[in-house]
Structure 1
């Protein structure tokens, strides 16, 4: 007999399928949207209750089923005579198959297509523009492609990110940004497609409204606070391309919607060469610009205008001998009237110019001298020859006046900040910067310098001690530079370059012990030209926190030329090793790196008359090292423990080191593996360091270790016997199984 008891079973708990969060509309309150937002992303946060991460075909999925019971199979057929399915259907009865399907609980249908959640972009490259100090100097404002970044100068942390909608401007990027001289809470930002934003940097309000000033885009922008007709307003000066060819400078008065004053613009200057620099002074009455080898100095004719479309400037142009790379202007009132009969209303305009050959020129009272040179009676009294200074070997990337006008500050590719004392002619140097100095700004009080470097970082220096008080760094991996800089117009000796455009990989790895930390190999100058790319130097290890969006640490993993002379006697840059592979152990306490160094082609010119091939000589002189580093908690850095020179040999049995094609770490134990161009796989493990049979310990009693090769596996060689069909492996990889029991290797 069938049992009449049915054992109940507790309801089965099924984990919720991750669901993707629905897109939300923009908040009506912009200040709430941007308050205290950082540059990281929340992918590393713990998921709260009910947090949905995924969607299936655009809809959320919930597979629910009733609690399961233990079925007594005899109950399905109790008191029911046996009949065929056809006969049951004729009598109007449900077939036993349907009863079976109803009684037996069905498993939920598997979900096939899961959507993936993509985090917000992290990092980004700081654009080449002057950093901006806020009025109280508590914050420094930088910008990347489509965001304004507000950093605290007290703790170097990112306090707010103001993003512009990339869907509205899919191919645009920020070209310039400047604090409003009328309202210190407002910052103006110009995009390359001609859009201008007026944003409150304290809250982010205004990032959803823009003005379109030109259909041909925008090259540069600056802002002046001008007073006319009893009204003070911000006038935005921009440079853009003309539709019919050429370039122009435009003055724009951009008003808010609903304002009784109309938005107007006026072209104040046109040029046949690109205008790539623009700066105003003395409340917009003085305008300074650079166009190729020419300097443009404009002075407003009359300040009695109702709207900006009636403003007029008089421009004077003078040429330089080399492309102009940087310039700055200092304006102050004229206190003494000399015998040249210059009007007291004409201010004193001092201009400093840095060119592509490394020269710095200082023009004293340039506006007054240009005005007098046009007067026949006083032309002979005018001296337009500037004072010339020279220390930089290459182009002067930035030059600025100090607030009191007694100093000028300059910087360039020499990684040295130079302070020129004009009265005595003495120079003061701050050497050993990490990369090329791109921009220098002086804080409103003159107590700090804001410095932007080419390695995607910036810092704040105190003017008294010349010591850094804040440091801001982004991801410093290499990027491609498509535009040729103006400095390339000056012919210079260059290091070894690739004939064709190539992809130079950036080694990187996610920390297994801290998944939010990204470790990557970086160099001093991460911008690589698309054509004629030099062999990139990559000697540093950067640790970047993806969740917080800021740099954690940076240290050298190979020899560098930061603190030594970085050029040869024939003006060629000295090549540095480059890191090709990085791997971290499963416990996060060990790091394995591979660095490679090859001398420059120019260093082998002395053997060109010999029969030896230069490429063969380069291969012989190539140096490749496998290094093992241990994490030191006390110093918060990686300490070199073992260095293996030439861990693999060349594939053709020739002298010299062979390239390492792949590096892998064992996820279950302390072990690394490499594959080289010699088609050999080697595993590396640590062993206790001993001296006279006794384990060597450090000062804290910890046993010291060395690394050595544990196994060596020769991979099967090609069956092709013809020498001309054989080739050196150029790509390879190794990988461990999760339990470390299997090691897979491949090469091509």
Structure 2
């Protein structure tokens, strides 16, 4: 199988030394992206659990080494240019954060015996349930990476739960925060197994959420849950110095002359800044220490001038900020955002250069609204998924490339984290050929009034997946909500079913143009309206040839002729409302799923108009193959709500995927999966980008795609008798990685355009060759000769030359 859709923002990324690569923690691996193209070039595989830290080892040579730490309790050393695993260290405890001070004070040593390299790790102490209330859940340990062992007897801190460690740019200090307290340790210049540590504590009145060290001065910044930023200046003068002597050119101040400092904290002063309206997630000092960057839920990057407190902003990023990382090149930085995007910035102008986008994560704020599903749908033809996002957009994501293709703005609204949610994109549907997208958005009522449902049709561009709005229909089913959207498999027809008791068939009309012009789409109109005993219409689907339209009228299934809008037959009488309908390929069978206290999966024979076979299980989603008689079901291990008798018989972590042949109730294959609630399934045509580890096991041109409730997906070979492994063959574009390095002017503003003046050759031949002033002014201003040189050449060119005769 091939997995994708992982989170790019679970941990801070890291730049390579030449800034051409960005190393990103993605689940159990580290993905390496090109900063020039934003595309993934390689991957570090080997950890058995989530990677929590990646640290690049500085080197003046063309060397690419890094350390990684994981929840599997291991620390690994990589050559990420190869990529190749060089060393593995097992400390047996899950690692939530790691710092290596010695790599920040890297020097080229010629001595044959180099000092040991030490790492400080924040581990999770695994205790028995009866011991969890007695012992702390997190500890900071010291590891000797050179000798591959934990330093015994050295525990810097014990906390209730593991957190993160922050290191100063010089590598001399490390710090952590827990609730309303900061702890800062001084790392000795010559670290060893038995060296002692000096520590100070700083206190605050609110819960602290982030921490940052100044690159050159004794200044520490911290952000809290209320949006405030605190700046402690002159920290550790009593503890980290000898008796309060000179540090940075100043004496330690008396306790009465320390404004803003609480209790007996070792600091000269404490200043509070407040602009953010919610929790501060990002704090980072610039490399020269003159500015402080901050960010949080507002989706705005704020740049504070440290001396004056003046601010400037990078607004409308569109998502809460999580991490801000600098590179060795002062003109390149990155921001990690909560919408699973990493944006590369050109500094100091803060222009967004590239975006590395993963699948948008589910929004927890939308779970309070019942009836609003995940809405993830598949574009079978192109191997894409469409994901409704929190910012009123639909993201199109490639399953085979594992990257974002485009985004469609459904309604024009900016990111305002403090506002209540007023609009929800709750349904998305794509036509089988991917040329049309249909969306349903609901404006939520305010104080019980003002609800509005809008049905929109979007046309896709010919060369890309950029959709443009074609038709808007307000209140298509009066005041009732839309339960489902289904497209005709071959024609320009769609049907929408409503909880209000009717369904509508929509067709696309075209304008007639002269012969020399192609017809253009002008919109969608209502072709027919149908209902059955005023029962809620809960699901709809077309047969493979489009000749039959099946619409679920609560607990029964109605069959219609879609062209003439004639009711053909009524079948079934399920115990619970039907939520899903699908025809199985080109066979004569229809599969339905119902939910409630007595859920069922039922197979209906269209030739006999009766039940073929059924199972009592909670089906989260159903997908049918387009060519043969197989279908797959995603079933939950338990019904969402119900008594003990209503529990499903399926056992597994969270759910199970069952592959059936329509004529046989015995499953052909079974896969146990996690995070099945809100998951989706689809048969997708295979791609040449897929590599099979066992090629002879490939027996079909289709793969089964499963995306779970956290928007992580996996591609399975559904018909393989062996457990063949699928992977993606990535194209490594080495040309993009070997670009010429830029310095100075070009690194900030880019290369200047080349000016090529077209001059008449006859005019050139008539020009005297000795007049150099005609060419000395050509070229960029920063490359021109100095002014005295220009003036002397220019004046000399204006004087007439005479031949002097010396007697």
TM-score (norm 2): 0.60
- How far apart, CA to CA, are the structure 2 residues paired with 1:155 and 1:507? 30
Deviations 1:162-218 (A, max 9, x none): 2235xxx3xx322222223479622222222422222222123118x6322244x22
Query: For residue 508 of structure 1, what is the aligned residue in structure 2?
Result: 376
2:176 corresponding residue in structure 1: 289
CA contact (8 A) 1:418 1:428 kept: yes
Give the one of 249, 253, 258 matched to 2:144.
Answer: 253
Contact 1:275 1:290 in 2 (8 A): no
Shift of 1:380: 4.0
* Residue matched to 2:587: none
Choose which of 657, 673, 687 in structure 1 pairs with 2:509: 687
Match of 2:357 in 1: 473
Aligned-partner Cα distance in 2 for 1:579–1:479? 12
Matched, 1:280 2:167: yes
Residue matched to 1:498: 368
The answer for the alignment partner of 1:706 in structure 2 is 523
Q: Who is 2:741 aligned against?
A: none
RMSD of the TM alignment (CA)? 3.0
Shift of 1:512: 4.3
| Alignment match, 2:386 | 519
Compared CA separation, residues 375 and 585, structure 1 to 2 (3 A): closer
Give me the whole-angstrom Cα distance separating, in 2, the residues matched to 1:283 and 1:419.
22
SS of structure 2 residue aligned to 1:423 = coil
- Structure 1 residues 122 and 631, CA gap change in structure 2 (3 angstroms): same
Q: Distance in 2 between matches of 1:380 and 1:328?
A: 25
C-alpha distance 275-681 of structure 1, shift in aligned 2 (>3 A): closer
- Retained in 1: the 8 A contact 2:325–2:334? yes
Say whether the 8 Å CA contact 1:417–1:430 is kept in structure 2: yes
How do 1:101-112 residues align onto structure 2 when only pairs under 5 Å count?
Answer: none
1:743 alignment partner, one of 549, 552, 571? 549
Q: 1:580 aligns with which of 417, 421, 426?
A: 426
Q: Deviations over 1:203-257 (max 9, x none)?
A: 23118x6322244x22221122179996234321111244561232211012378
Deviations 1:420-458 (A, max 9, x none): 112333211111112111111111122112100100110
Contact 2:215 2:285 in 1 (8 A): no
Whole-angstrom distance in 2 between the partners of 1:625 and 1:282 = 52
Q: 1:688 to 1:127 in 2, by over 3 A?
A: closer
1:335-346 maps to which residues of 2 (within 5 A)? none
- In the other structure, the counterpart of 1:53 is none
In structure 2, C-alpha distance between the alignment counterparts of 1:742 and 1:497, rounded to whole Å: 35
CA distance in 1, matches of 2:276, 2:474: 38
Describe how 1:141-290 pairs up with structure 2 within 5 A.
Answer: 141-165=23-47, 169=48, 172-181=49-58, 185-206=64-85, 210-215=88-93, 217-225=94-102, 231-242=114-125, 245-246=135-136, 247-255=138-146, 264-274=151-161, 276-281=163-168, 284-290=171-177
CA contact (8 A) 2:124 2:162 kept: no
Q: What is the aligned partner in structure 1 of residue 401 from structure 2?
A: 548
Is contact 1:409-1:418 (8 Å) kept? yes
1:337-376 matches, cutoff 5 A: 348-368=217-237, 371=240
The correspondence of residues 314-463 of structure 1 with structure 2, limited to 5 A, is 314-332=198-216, 348-368=217-237, 371=240, 379-380=254-255, 383=258, 384-463=268-347
Kindly tell me the number of residue pairs found equivalent between the two proteins.
Answer: 522
Deviation at 1:740, TM superposition (A): 0.8
> Kindly tell me: are residues 696 and 296 of structure 1, through their superposed partners in 2, closer, same or farther at Cα, counting changes over 3 Å?
farther
1:477, 1:506 within 8 Å by CA — same for their partners in 2?
Answer: no
Q: Report the CA distance shift for 1:349/1:385 in structure 2 as closer, same or farther (over 3 A).
A: closer
Q: Deviations over 1:650-702 (max 9, x none)?
A: xxxxxxx211111100001010011100221211001235xxxxx589x9865
Question: Relative to structure 1, is the Cα distance of residues 318 and 271 closer, same or farther in structure 2, using a 3 angstrom cutoff?
Answer: farther
Contact 2:285-2:292 at 8 Å conserved across structures? yes
Specify whether residues 467 and 700 from structure 1 end up closer, same or farther in structure 2 by C-alpha distance, changes over 3 A only: farther
1:497-517 CA deviation, whole Å, 9 max, x = no partner?
739xx7852223322442x22
In structure 1, the partner of 2:6 is 124
The 1-side partners of 2:190 and 2:380 are apart by 67
- Match of 1:248, SS state, is strand
CA contact (8 A) 2:386 2:395 kept: yes
List alignment gaps of at least 5 residues for structure 1. 1-118, 333-347, 481-494, 525-538, 605-616, 650-656, 690-694, 719-728
Counterpart CA distance in 1 for 2:346 and 2:471 is 40
* Per-residue deviation, 1:328: 1.1
**Partner-residue secondary structure (3-state), 1:558:** coil
Alpha carbons 1:372, 1:378 under 8 Å: kept: no
8 Å contact kept, 1:585–1:591: yes
Question: Do structure 1's residue 626 and structure 2's residue 455 form an aligned pair?
Answer: yes
Unmatched runs of 5 consecutive residues or more in structure 2? 128-133, 246-251, 259-267, 555-576, 578-807
* Residue aligning to 2:615: none
Shift of 1:636: 5.5
CA distance in 2, matches of 1:265, 1:555: 55
> 1:367 deviation in Å?
2.4
- Deviations, residues 356-407 of structure 1 (Å, cap 9, x unaligned): 1111112223122655798699534763331221110001110100001111
Aligned residue for 2:467? 638
List per-residue Cα deviations over 1:294-337 (Å, max 9, x = no partner): 1111113x5456xx4213211111211111111111243xxxxx
- Residue pairs, 1:579-658, within 5 angstroms: 579-599=425-445, 603-604=446-447, 617=448, 620-633=449-462, 637-649=466-478, 657-658=479-480
Distance of 1:700 and 1:636 partners within structure 2: 24
The 1:143/1:372 distance shift into structure 2, 3 A limit, reads: closer
State whether residues 10 and 26 of structure 2, in contact with CA within 8 Å, keep that contact through their aligned partners in structure 1. no
Question: Within 1, Cα distance between the matches of 2:419 and 2:428?
Answer: 26
Query: 1:318 and 1:273, CA in 2 relative to 1: closer, same or farther beyond 3 A?
Result: farther
Change (3 A) 1:552 1:587: same
TM-score by length of 1: 0.65
Q: 1:586 to 1:182 in 2, by over 3 A?
A: closer
CA offset at residue 713 of structure 1?
1.0
Cα distance in 1 for partners of 2:482, 2:324 equals: 41
Describe the SS at the equivalent of 1:664: strand
2:565 corresponding residue in structure 1: none
**Contact 1:235–1:252 (8 Å) recurs in 2:** yes
Q: Distance in 2 between matches of 1:675 and 1:503?
A: 15
Contact in 2 for aligned 1:369/1:382 (Cα 8 Å): no
Query: Is 1:669 equivalent to 2:536 in the alignment?
Result: no
Cα gap change, 1:742 to 1:636, in 2 (>3 Å): closer
